[in-house]
Amino acid sequence: MILGLRTYDVRAVDRAPLLSFMLQSLREAGCRILYEPPADRAPFVISFETATGERFGIVAYAFLATRTPTLNRPANERSFQIKYGSNDHALHELWQDPLGLFVTLLIGIDPNEGFFVAADPVLHNPTRFFIRLEFKDEHAELIRANGWHAWEREHRGPRHMLASERAFDREVLVGGTAAHFLDLVRFERLAKGQAPGERQLLAEKPEVRALGLETFGFAESSAHPLETELDLGREAILELIDSARRLKMAVRGWAAEEKLRAFLAALPGVTSCQRLDRESSPDLELRWQHGPLLTIECKNVLRKPNAKGQARIDFQRTRAAKGDPCSRYYAPGDFDVLAGCLHAVTERWEFKFVRPPMLDPHRTCVGKLASNVAVDERWMADPAAAFAAASG
């Protein structure tokens, strides 16, 4: 049906309750189903029109969420298992529409209790099958009580991860009742490609989701040179960015770096400051009081602070070199100053700074820095001391 979408034979009797949950949720939200798929082919492709005339298409990788007691697992644990067919140990692509018309969902559904739990389909792409995504009874209770709930989950990927696979320590799950399934579709369209902290911010702030791309503050003006160069209008360019996950992630990262660059360039004592656009290099380069050039790495914080109220950073590269798992982690000499972007927590473009040698060492990788970083008393809002020490 859709070019490039791989489908799988599934047992209709097993999958029909999942399909029914989604279709009924949409109908109860006032939607008109335009295309209803058979229950024996997965993922499910559904198209529908909302009560206000919006048209959506979804590609749903949907699985049964259950509370099944499992040996050596916590008694309060629930889960859903990502699998179609047999365990072939291969990587499987979770399809994303290159044109941005269809929204991809990676979702566990409990039809009996009437709720869903959705994982980030971009973060899990590609995936292996027979992978379990766990959540707790408390999450299910919060979903049922509030209708919508988002939380952070620790995860370290498959046990035998290849260097080519995405590596991550944390992800954000979003759960909701049937009445909020349409909200999930809208949320995943907007959150596609976002870092975990920003994904959780969008999940927790419906007023931010309602703003959409208007949050970036684009105003009417004369044509930008890029519009002329690409022969595309600004709306087409924004749609292109929004529909391409790697491009969107890169643009959002560059937006944070540009905010940081503008902040640093305005500081007294900074005599030059520019972004770097080199592979595997730090993000910015500046000169402090006419001293040597300093390099700055910018990292986004996660949405939820730790138990002490401190912002947290998942401080590692997304991939490791083949045969060297420690290459995922940074060394103290990789850059001069680390900047933490606090936007996911404060919802403002604020930054704190620290010298890498002040951070904790990695427990097992000698010469590397720990990946779980707390923005604690070692960090400072005014980077002058860090710049002075690095220049010294």
- Please tell me the distance from the alpha carbon of residue 108 to that of residue 123, in angstroms, as a whole number: 16
- Helix ranges (H only) for the chain are 12-28, 137-146, 181-191, 196-204, 206-211, 225-230, 234-243, 245-265, 343-346, 384-391
The answer as to whether 73 is a domain residue is yes
| Alpha-carbon 215 to chain mean position | 18
Pairing state between β 293-300 and 337-341? parallel
CA distance 326 to 88: 28
Q: Give the three-state DSSP class for 15.
A: helix
Distance between CA atoms of residues 43 and 106, nearest Å: 10
Do 203 and 280 belong to one domain? no
Q: Which two tokens mark 24?
A: 């009924």
List the one residue out of 218, 256, 255, 254 whose CA is nearest residue 237: 218
Helix, strand or coil, per DSSP, at residue 334: coil
Does residue 255 share a domain with residue 187?
no
Question: Does a structural domain hold residue 228?
Answer: no
Q: How confident is the model at residue 136, as a pLDDT? A: 94
Instruction: For residues 148 and 263, state if they share a domain.
Output: no
pLDDT at 275: 86
Around 150, how many Cα atoms within 13 Å sit in the side-chain half-sphere?
25
Tell me which H or E stretch contains 312: strand 312-314
Q: In what order do the strands lie in the sheet with 293-300?
A: 270-275, 284-288, 293-300, 337-341, 351-354
Supply the pTM of this predicted model: 0.64
Domain edge (last residue) among 211, 235, 267: 211
Q: Distance (Å, rounded) from C-alpha 11 to C-alpha 279? A: 46
Q: Which residue range(s) make up the domain with 149? A: 8-211
207 shares a domain with 249: no
233 in any annotated domain: no
| Last residue of one domain, picked from the residues 191, 211, 231 | 211
Q: Check whether residue 190 and residue 295 sit in a common domain.
A: no
Asked if 84 and 67 touch (Cβ cutoff 8 Å), the reply is: no
Residues 249 and 197 in one domain: no
- Packing angle of the helix pair 181-191, 196-204 (nearest 10 deg): 140
Task: Report the relative pairing of strands 115-119 and 148-154 from DSSP bridges.
Answer: unpaired
Do 198 and 265 reside in the same domain of the chain? no
Phi/psi at 64 (5° precision): -80, 125
As to burial, measured by CB atoms within 10 angstroms (0-12 exposed, 13-18 middle, 19+ buried), residue 136 is: middle
State which residues of the chain have pLDDT below 50.
Answer: 163-164, 213-221
Is residue 257 assigned to a domain? Answer: yes
In this structure, the answer to whether residues 296 and 166 fall within a common structural domain is: no
**Domain-ending residue, one of 162, 188, 211:** 211
Tell me if 130 sits within 8 A of 87, measured CB to CB.
yes
Q: Are residues 349 and 253 in the same domain?
A: yes
Examine the domain organization and report whether 203 and 250 are in the same domain. Answer: no
- For residue 216, being part of any structural domain is answered with no
Q: Is 32 helix (H, G, I), strand (E, B) or coil?
A: strand
Tokens of 129: 């099958």
* Within-domain flag for 50: yes
Residues present in the chain in total:
392
CATH number for the domain harbouring residue 373: 3.40.1350.10
pLDDT confidence of residue 243: 72
- Specify whether 183 is located in the same domain as 256: no
Task: State how far the alpha carbon of 269 is from the alpha carbons of 7, 67, 131, 265, 380, in Å.
Answer: 59, 59, 52, 9, 17
Whether residue 166 is contained in a domain is answered as yes
Nearest CA-CA partner of 338 in 382, 286, 288, 282: 282
CA distance 47 to 31: 10
Q: Residue 204 corresponds to which amino acid?
A: E
Q: How many domains does the chain have?
A: 2
Whether residue 188 lies inside any domain: the answer is yes
C-alpha closest to that of 57 among 17, 106, 28, 97: 97
Q: Which residue has the tokens 């680390």?
A: 338
> Do 164 and 304 lie in a common domain?
no
